[in-house]
Homo-oligomer: A and B are copies of this chain.
Amino acid sequence: MPKRILRVNMTNLEAKFEDLPEDYAALGGRGMTSTIVAKEVLPTCNPLGIHNKLVLAPGIVTGTKAPSSGRISVGGKSPLTGGIKEANAGTPFSQMLARLRIGAIIVEGKHAGDDYYLLKLTNEGTEFINANKWSNKGLYGVYKDLRKEFGDKVGICGVGIAAELLGGNSGVCFSDPEGLPSRYSGRGGMGAVMASKGLKFIIVNDTGAPGVEIANEEIFSQGIKKLRDALTSHDVTKPGGALNSYGTSVLVNIINEAGGLPQRNFSAGQDDRSEKVSGEAKAEEIKKRGGQRPHFCNPGCIIQCSEVWCKPGGKDPVGVLEYESVWALGPNSGIYNLDDIGELNRACNDLGLDTIEAGDTIAVAMEGGLIEFGDGKGALKLMDEIRRKTPTGKILANGTEITGKVLGVTRIPTVKGQSLPAYDPRAIKGIGVTYATTPMGADHTAGYCIAPEIMGVGGQVDPLSPEKAEVSRNLQLATAAVDATGYCLFIAFAVLDIPEGLQGVVESLNGVLGTNLTVDDVAPIGRSIIDTELEFNKKAGFTPIHDRLPEFFLEEKLPPHNTVFDVPDSDLDSVF
């Protein structure tokens, strides 16, 4: 069986398999979604109208034995940014798609009326099932029910109440290995795109699947061994290393120390109380209350940065509390209490919200006077407004920029309509260049300058220096390439420092694809993907003027460094 595209037409509830076009053969993940979106979606279309499409694609090596490679990319035109979007997550769902030899699912059309549907996908074929009974409910309960109905082995992709509201902050939610709704392609409102079409869930079961075709097993095995060696030896990625021990939250203390952990809607870069919500404090607490740490988001991951946060006694498991989530729902909202943050994160997962956008939205709502900074219980009540679909809830479900506008807030931390993640660009300037220039809207994962600026990975540069155009560009190109492979971006920590690891990555790709790529091909592959995305955005009406940070980052000094974002516009324009 060759690799296929599954084309899902929601207008008439048809799902058809198509041969993967030859020129898509070497694509995967973000490379696949951005290519299809650029080819099939009118850049000027209404993101929630009939002409937008939702594309899901596993990476090139996803579904194989390659370590840490269970990523899925979700693409389309974003209702939040108005530009092209790719948001990826780690989930067994992606591995199952890949083993069914599905290169991409393209969801198109729009079902008339108010019914929601579930698409069931197995080795035998597809089936549409009315999903109304699983709508207007929290996803923790729904995902449990879906596993009861369809079995524990299924992978689940779904959207929540925020997407039913067509909220600009609504993610596409994937199940983790235990079936928790905790792995999110969260950013950019792709959940609303899926819901706008009438599609609520995709359930996949790969029983009997042929598995991923590997052109050259020898090269492939050799490649993944080199990568595995790199991952298990680098301090950041190895078992017992930083990510494995504390998860991404290991950054709380580090970024706070660096003066770049935004507090109270980006009004300071440091607060001693941040330590209370650090990765170290959290790991200890997880142990105490019977959660799980480490944990993997997809089988075969070596890094295992994930965890299962829960209430004392192991109750109400949430899944991982990522660094960015802890920050957004914590310090950036003036909240320094892991219990509140855990509940807020659970609410986000339950409602189908991106945690970064939700936390920034809460902070802006606090600045707009809806509740006080630091009011964790008040923030939970705001989440409940979304659950009850009240007018306030509908505002919040639309994310930071609209919430700020509605509440008359002028300090709105967004680029291209998408809210800034957990690193203040006045204290760590390279990441600010990435926020400003990536086609995705403010996104730290698009070119993670924190690696060289703070962690000393892939070189070491001064975070306060404004000369960051090249650093950001190089990382953005590498990232786009990695996002196409299906590998977790975190392998980059190891392969940026260990050349054999990078060589292994390339060999693993050659093994699967039967190609002769070299390490020198990585950046051009990334460039080609980003060029496709930039071209889409240009046709959608974006100009260099949109590659800018909000005014207040250029004018308000951030304590403790008391610096502003001073990267010249010409440097920003030079990135691409």
Residues on A lying within 8 angstroms of B by beta carbon are: 44-46, 48-49, 51, 165-168, 196, 370, 390-392, 394-395, 398, 402, 405-408, 410, 539-541, 543, 545-546, 548, 550-552
Question: Which one of B49, B390, B545, B552 contacts A541 once the chains associate, using CB atoms below 8 Å?
Answer: B545
Contact residues in B for A196 (Cβ distance below 8 Å): 410
Contact assessment for B166 and A408 in the assembled complex, using a CB-CB cutoff below 8 Å: yes
Contact assessment for A410 and B540 in the assembled complex, using a CB-CB cutoff below 8 Å: no
A371 to chain B, nearest CB (A): 12
Contact assessment for A49 and B539 in the assembled complex, using a CB-CB cutoff below 8 Å: no
Question: Which one of B46, B165, B408 contacts A165 once the chains associate, using CB atoms below 8 Å?
Answer: B408
A444 to chain B, nearest CB (A): 23
Contact assessment for B410 and A394 in the assembled complex, using a CB-CB cutoff below 8 Å: no
A263 to chain B, nearest CB (A): 22
Given contacts A49-B410, A165-B408, 18 further A-B contacts (CB under 8 A): A46-B550, A48-B408, A48-B410, A49-B552, A166-B408, A168-B405, A390-B391, A391-B395, A394-B406, A394-B407, A395-B406, A402-B402, A402-B405, A406-B406, A539-B545, A541-B543, A541-B545, A543-B543
Chain B residue with the shortest CB-CB distance to A397: B406
- State the CA gap A207–B212 with chains docked (Å): 87
Contact assessment for A551 and B51 in the assembled complex, using a CB-CB cutoff below 8 Å: yes
Contact residues in B for A551 (Cβ distance below 8 Å): 45-46, 49, 51
- State the CA gap A49–B408 with chains docked (Å): 11
**Which secondary structure dominates where chain A touches chain B?**
loop
Contact residues in B for A398 (Cβ distance below 8 Å): 405-406
Contact residues in B for A168 (Cβ distance below 8 Å): 405
Interface hub of A45, A398, A408, A539 (most chain B Cβ within 10 A): A408
**5 closest pairs, A vs B, by CB?**
A541-B545, A166-B408, A391-B392, A46-B551, A48-B410
Contact residues in B for A392 (Cβ distance below 8 Å): 391
Contact residues in B for A45 (Cβ distance below 8 Å): 551
27 A-B residue pairs with Cβ-Cβ distance under 8 Å, sorted by A, are: A44-B548, A46-B410, A46-B550, A48-B408, A48-B410, A49-B410, A51-B551, A165-B408, A166-B410, A167-B408, A168-B405, A370-B391, A391-B391, A391-B392, A391-B395, A391-B406, A394-B406, A394-B407, A394-B408, A395-B395, A398-B406, A402-B402, A402-B405, A402-B406, A540-B545, A541-B545, A543-B543
With contacts A48-B410, A394-B407, A406-B402 taken as known, whether A541 is within 8 angstroms of B546 at the C-beta atoms is yes
Contact residues in B for A370 (Cβ distance below 8 Å): 391
- State the CA gap A392–B394 with chains docked (Å): 10
Chain B residue with the shortest CB-CB distance to A551: B46
- State the CA gap A548–B552 with chains docked (Å): 31
Contact residues in B for A49 (Cβ distance below 8 Å): 410, 551-552
- State the CA gap A59–B30 with chains docked (Å): 56
Contact residues in B for A395 (Cβ distance below 8 Å): 391, 394-395, 406
Contact residues in B for A546 (Cβ distance below 8 Å): 541
Contact residues in B for A539 (Cβ distance below 8 Å): 545
Contact residues in B for A44 (Cβ distance below 8 Å): 545, 548
- State the CA gap A540–B546 with chains docked (Å): 9
Contact residues in B for A165 (Cβ distance below 8 Å): 408
A238 to chain B, nearest CB (A): 46
Contact residues in B for A394 (Cβ distance below 8 Å): 395, 406-408
Chain B residue with the shortest CB-CB distance to A539: B545
- State the CA gap A51–B46 with chains docked (Å): 32
A265 to chain B, nearest CB (A): 15
Contact residues in B for A548 (Cβ distance below 8 Å): 44
Chain B residue with the shortest CB-CB distance to A45: B551
Contact residues in B for A405 (Cβ distance below 8 Å): 168, 398, 402
- State the CA gap A166–B392 with chains docked (Å): 17
A548 to chain B, nearest CB (A): 7
Chain B residue with the shortest CB-CB distance to A167: B408
A457 to chain B, nearest CB (A): 34
A230 to chain B, nearest CB (A): 43
Interface hub of A51, A165, A196, A405 (most chain B Cβ within 10 A): A405
- State the CA gap A410–B46 with chains docked (Å): 8
- State the CA gap A552–B110 with chains docked (Å): 15
Chain B residue with the shortest CB-CB distance to A79: B405
Contact residues in B for A552 (Cβ distance below 8 Å): 46, 49
- State the CA gap A318–B91 with chains docked (Å): 62
Chain B residue with the shortest CB-CB distance to A166: B408
A392 to chain B, nearest CB (A): 4
A186 to chain B, nearest CB (A): 19
Contact residues in B for A541 (Cβ distance below 8 Å): 543, 545-546
Contact residues in B for A540 (Cβ distance below 8 Å): 545
Contact residues in B for A550 (Cβ distance below 8 Å): 46
A79 to chain B, nearest CB (A): 8
A490 to chain B, nearest CB (A): 35
Chain B residue with the shortest CB-CB distance to A46: B551
A373 to chain B, nearest CB (A): 18
Contact residues in B for A391 (Cβ distance below 8 Å): 370, 390-392, 395, 406
- State the CA gap A165–B390 with chains docked (Å): 20
A417 to chain B, nearest CB (A): 11
